[in-house]
Amino acid sequence: MKQFMLFTLFLLLCNLEKAESQAKRGFCPRQPEKLAEGRTCGTLCSRARPCVKPNVKCRCDGDCGQICLNPLGVCPTLRPIPNGRITYSRRGRKKWRTTGRYRCDDGYAILGAALRVCESDRRWSGEAPVCTDISLALFWNRAGHFFDDIHKLLGLFYAYAYDDPRTPQIAIDDGGGDMYDNGNMVRFYVDGVVPANPLPYNTQHRGLSYHVMVGGTRHPFLMLAWITNRNRARHTYTIDVRSGTGADGNGTIVTYNGKLTEGRSTLEYHTFQIVVTADPTICEVYFNVYNQAVWGSIPGDRFNVKTFSKVTDPVANSVILSGRPRNVLMGYMLLSRPLGIVITQLEIQRTLFSFMQRLRGETRDVEDLFQSIAVNQALTAISQSNPHFQTSYTDWYSYIYDGGTNSIEDGGRNMFDGGNKITIHYNGNPDITEATYGQFYKSINYEFQSVPWDPFISLLWVSNDNNQRLNITFQVTGKSGNDGSVRIFSGNLPFGNFRTTYHVFEISGGTHPTICEVYFSVHNTAEWKSVPAQFRFSRFTTNTHRLDNSVQLLGKPRNIMLGYTLLSRFPTAVVDDREIRVVLNKIIAAITTVDI
């Protein structure tokens, strides 16, 4: 390390000598476009225009060019930084060209430039860096690539202005388009002790069990909190964001929540969004990431919304992580679009998925990365057609998602006694057990997601690039409140070059809403380069109360979409084959519009 520092100092002195040598030969142009903000330069000079004041010499001073300066001028001593120290290139007075080098204590890493130079105007170049927890520094530096991705990830991203006049900045005044009337004021606190003032932007803060970094003026605004909690004490950690918005009580509130897995990391999120206004969208995204294998994380007991506003102006939102978490990353980011255009849940998941990739140091081009996520593209296309599904037949029953994150408790009219629980078996082993609705799963040979829409829908894309022999089973279990009769049938549905096989399990004719489970497989050998495989019912039950139904994909399938949708009707008449085919036609028509 010492040799590296001496080598770096040697290079710096060589560059300074080179600059002076070039100045003597006349190669020292002034380049004002490269000057740091607030920098002042002396009077230009040359052999034909010498300096006349005492102690003033004609010297090359970097981007200032060849100027009159006092090489004996002294810069003030640099202020110390928390958890760090400063060493200088010369003892005594800090004259022109003296360098100050920042170093951090053990367990901390530097954020910002480590080296500053005494300039000719007797000020130090650049700004003081900060010494932060080494883990958080790593995350923050890796997230730097994510800032560059945001315009690719989120079409029509609105780059709000950081126009709060206060110093240091603690808010966004209106974002440039009346996005706020003074907003995005962020607080982070432990065990319910609310600080009086918001956190200043571009700062770091440290407590006994956490370390926080607050973003500056990049897009999107980002705050990260690294929860160390080495003693595993019981705590509650809260992120709180308050704003006066430009919505003035207008607009609509949209909230999402869900969970993503990427590699060995898991991310939980809650979002609050104000849309359908003449002003830019306000989309607050709160998240919590843990990785037990690599980070040694111990997740908290719960990550949930503490308060979300019921009105669009003003808003005061907060989320809370409780329990005994250790080595867990909490965060908050601000997304936006012009004219109150909604940011869909799939777009938020896509953004968060990229963020998780960046935390791992992923460097693949973000556009290439997401071209492969067929499920996200297909669900986005289906979401645009989803409202029209309800016109597919009369007496459509919109069941209620009242069973938490992975089931329907009773559907609102005792449709279930806890049902619609999905498990994916991969080569005989349960790979995803009781899948969380809204969570995106990605494995080596497949990706999967279910969404609690009306109707409920799940998609599983089988890529199998290695041409392996696979056995993928899609299982739906639960207890039914129905006392009707069971009907099972299958069919085929052509759609251009697309071929669909479907299997149906239906309970109807009882006193409760109809349960109609529709499983389907879609392939296209021409456009998707699909390799078909056997798709069959592997199990179905005739018991109308204990449901355990599954379909299998067997062989060496490639580029095939498996799907499942839950249809219902009340009163309890059957959903007949014609009506099922109408719904499937709409789903497949949406899927065919994307370039998978």
Q: What is d(CA 309, CA 243) in angstroms, rounded to the nearest whole number? A: 11
DSSP-derived pairing of the beta strands 446-451 and 440-442? antiparallel
CB neighbourhood size of 507 (10 A): 27
pLDDT for 389: 75
- The type of residue at 359 is L
Return the SS3 of 131. strand
Q: What is d(CA 457, CA 452) in angstroms, rounded to the nearest whole number? A: 7
Return the SS3 of 475. strand
> Residues 320, 225: contact at Cβ < 8 Å?
no
Q: How confident is the model at residue 131 (pLDDT cuts 50, 70, 90)?
A: confident
Q: What is the DSSP string of 387-416?
A: GGGGGSSTTB------STTS-BSSTTTTSB
Residue 80 phi/psi, 5-degree rounding, is: -65, 155
Q: What is d(CA 35, CA 394) in angstroms, rounded to the nearest whole number? A: 70
Q: What does the pLDDT look like over 258-314, one tens digit per residue? A: 998 887 789 999 999 999 888 999 999 999 999 887 777 899 999 999 999 999 999
User: End-to-end CA distance of the chain, in Å?
Assistant: 50
Q: How confident is the model at residue 125 (pLDDT cuts 50, 70, 90)?
A: confident
Q: What is d(CA 503, CA 341) in angstroms, rounded to the nearest whole number? A: 38
Q: How confident is the model at residue 29 (pLDDT cuts 50, 70, 90)?
A: confident
pLDDT for 5: 43
Question: For 91, what's the count of Cα atoms within 13 Å in the CB-facing half-sphere?
Answer: 0
Q: What is d(CA 451, CA 458) in angstroms, rounded to the nearest whole number? A: 6
Arithmetic mean of pLDDT, 114-118: 86
For residue 141, pLDDT beyond 80: no
Q: What does the pLDDT look like over 156-172, one tens digit per residue? A: 899 999 999 998 899 99
For residue 423, pLDDT beyond 90: yes
> Residues 462, 400: contact at Cβ < 8 Å?
no
Q: What is d(CA 387, CA 139) in angstroms, rounded to the nearest whole number? A: 40
Q: Domains of the chain by range and CATH? A: 2-128 (2.10.70.10), 135-367 (no CATH), 375-591 (no CATH)
Q: What does the pLDDT look like over 203-251, one tens digit per residue? A: 888 888 888 889 878 899 999 999 988 788 999 999 999 999 998 889 9
pLDDT for 388: 67
